[in-house]
Structure 1
């Protein structure tokens, strides 16, 4: 998976496109978890951490995403951070654009 696919997987996971609801808090936690992985942590190190609250069924997948994109983690985090700051209509359009480009 490339960095674009990784970005799309994370934002899609926490976005309800039908209702236009985005869980920015969980995307932000995903950024923090990816940073921890970059610092050398492993999923078992975060297992009992408050950091993964809400991500219990996804933090191990984030590790796989990290391992597949180690060199691009900072760029993925920057894109996720920018995504969080965008208004909801723009977020939905970004997701649609990425889905179209990655088909």
Structure 2
């Protein structure tokens, strides 16, 4: 896990941080591009790379794979459950763009 989540963050808090345009997810695989220092030459050298997060000193772009949604659970028998993110997911936590499509 590249960016660990604090131990006291609940699924509800993490979902709120993602906002209404993204879905909180737990992902088994994460690939990061960037995180390097390059010396480019020429008038347009490195232009596209800087736009996608591969420029000098950047953290880079994170691509996540094998993700499953982390949903809020309903209270059971009137007892509210405040599940901690780190208890529900031991891998990478990500805010993934909402998509109307389903995996088959």
- TM-score, shorter chain, exceeding 0.5: no
Scaled by the length of structure 1, what TM-score is found? 0.27
Scaled by the length of structure 2, what TM-score is found? 0.27
Instruction: Point out the structure with max Rg over C-alpha.
Output: 2
* Between structures 1 and 2, the one with greater helix share: 1
* Between structures 1 and 2, the one with greater strand share: 2
